[in-house]
Amino acid sequence: MSAVLHRPAPLGGPVLTKGTRTLVVLATIGVAAMIFRFAAGLGGATALNDGYPWGLWIAFDVVTGTALGCGGYAVALLVYVLNKGEFHPAVRPALLTGALGYSLAAVSILLDVGRPWLLHRVPLYVNHWNYNSALFEVALCVMTYVAVLWVEVSPSFLEAWKKGPAGLKKSLGDNFLPVVEKALPFVIALGLLLPTMHQSSLGTLMLLSGKKLHALWSTPLLPLLFLISCLAMGYAVVIFESTLSSVAFRRPREGKMLAALGKVVVPFLWAWAGIRLVDVVLRGKLALFAKPDGYVLLFLVEMALIVVPAVMLASPARRADAGALFRAALLMILAGTLYRIDTFIVAFRPGAQYAYFPSLAEILATVGIVAIEILAYVFFVKRFPILTGAAPAQTAAASQVR
């Protein structure tokens, strides 16, 4: 527990490798798709329609993307609130993933809204704020949280610059690092409060659609379920990302820490599945299972995706097994993703006459955004002290993503 903590250090090595080149291609295609969206308009570029006004970009890029960016939130909760210092090495990479995930979710919002040039009015038009709107709350929180995340990540840059050659960057590092360090506890607390608020509000969002959302998903407990599931996804992402980067960058795996994380996540999974089940029973929707249809099946698949990793991770042996732990993390990520996409698209039923499946442009833009996110991650961990206990990268060929 009280093992000596290594200091984070940049990995070094070239950013452009075989793997990242592929990502550059995907990112370029994605950017082209984004340009196409503005050239052709939402109607021309997306498959969105008046029945399904929200599609892939909201359900995946924003709602799922930010939940996947909750690693920083989830780990900070462990480290700073529950005082579990042993998870410290996971903080910086998780915060970086969060900062990237949230920033790109913000980009997706700019893509998705029809009049992005008026979006700044949401925070600025104070007299018009609609406190009843969950989306308003989400918008303000996400905008603030993006800033908070970058402040939380900033010591990594400032430290690197401080050690670097004299110049503007060095003076920035010299001057601001102490300030940020001093302010950090309060920023971290804000970084805990904001996701608690908006991740739950993301659930509240769909509550307003009332009966248009299938009864198995529409519950007053949506905010709570979204909050719990984002924490589960946060831990899963930390396991996922840490494991992958240890493989990709040929670094020793933080096996012990990840196994411990695997243990931490279990109660969240049970709470998630349990509350859902109890809620469905209490609301008297069990009758729906008498006539199983696609929605019932989907519900069961979601539940299975929650329960299976919970069972898997109950065993210490499996938690210690890198492959099993990774598979469990994948299942949790899949569970959270499916739960969100179902809540926002699949179980959202504006009427049988409406159909939606993301258009090619929507898919390519989303793929591009994920590619940009991974590219940025690789860039940051190679140039700045993010990862802890790193051995310097061996060769360029050795470092490949995925």
Partner 1 sequence: MQLDGLSGREPLLVDVEGSNRRDFVKVALMAGAAVGLPAALSAQIAEAAVKGVKPSVIWLHFQECTGCTESLLRTSHPDVAELILDLISLDYHETLFAAAGHQAEAALKKTMKDHEGKYVLVVEGAIPTKENGIYCQIGGRTAVDILNEVAGKAGAIIAIGSCASWGGIPSAEPNPTGATGAPMILKGKTVVTIPGCPANPYNLLGTVLQFATLGTLPALDEKGRPKFAYGRTIHEHCPRRAHFDAGRFVQKFGDEGHRQGWCLYKTGCKGPATHANCSVLPFAEVPDAWPIGIGHPCFGCTEQALAFRKPLHDTVDVERPTPPDTYAPLHAPMGKVAPIATGVAGLIGGALLGAGWAASKKLGTTEEASKEPRKEA
Partner 2 sequence: MTLDRRSLLTGAAATAATAVAVATRGAEAAVPTAPPDAVGLLYDTTLCIGCKTCVVACREANGKKPDTSNSNGLWDAPLDLNGQTKNIIKLYKDPDSPQRSYFKAQCMHCVDPACVGACMIGALQKREKGIVTYKQEYCSGCRYCQVACPFEIPKFEWSAKAPLMVKCELCNHRLAEGKLPGCVEVCPRKAVIYGTREALLADAKKRIADHPDRYRGYKDGDAPRVFGETDGGGTQCLVLSHVPYEKLGLPALEETSQANATRSIQHGIYQGFIAPIALYAVLGAVVFRNKKKQDEDGGAA
Query: CB within 8 A of 227, min separation 6: which ones?
Result: 196, 199, 200, 203
> Quick check: 277 binds partner 2 (CB under 8 A)?
no
Annotate each residue in 346-365 with x if it binds partner 1 (CB under 8 A) or - if it does not, as one string.
-----xxxxxxxxxx-xxx-
> Quick check: 391 binds partner 1 (CB under 8 A)?
yes
> Quick check: 179 binds partner 2 (CB under 8 A)?
no
> Quick check: 211 binds partner 2 (CB under 8 A)?
yes
Using the rule CB under 8 A, give the single segment among 70-78, 187-195, 228-236, 316-324 that binds partner 1. 316-324
> Quick check: 128 binds partner 2 (CB under 8 A)?
yes
CB closer to partner 1, 183 vs 391: 391
From the list partner 2, partner 1, none, partner contacted by residue 7 (C-beta under 5 to 8 A by kind): partner 2
Element (H or E) spanning 236, and its range? helix 222-248
Residues 75 and 126 sit within 8 Å (Cβ to Cβ): no
> Quick check: 99 binds partner 2 (CB under 8 A)?
no
Of residues 23-82, those binding partner 1 (CB under 8 A)? 47, 49-52
Query: CB within 8 A of 299, min separation 6: which ones?
Result: 216, 217, 280
Query: In the numeric block, which tokens belong to residue 328?
Result: 């469990």
From the list partner 2, partner 1, none, partner contacted by residue 391 (C-beta under 5 to 8 A by kind): partner 1
Residue 313: CB minimum distance to partner 2, A = 12
CB-count burial class (<10 Å; 0-12, 13-18, 19+) for 184: middle
Query: CB within 8 A of 38, min separation 6: which ones?
Result: none
Using alpha carbons, select from 43, 39, 99, 93 the residue that is nearest to residue 66.
99
CA gyration radius, the chain:
21
Q: How far is 244 from 247, CA to CA, in rounded Å?
A: 5
CB closer to partner 2, 27 vs 347: 347
Structure letter (DSSP) for residue 15? S
CB closer to partner 2, 186 vs 402: 186
From the list partner 1, partner 2, none, partner contacted by residue 197 (C-beta under 5 to 8 A by kind): partner 2
Residues near partner 1 (CB under 8 A) are 47, 49-52, 243-244, 246-247, 252-253, 255, 321-324, 326-327, 330, 351-360, 362-364, 367, 391, 394, 402
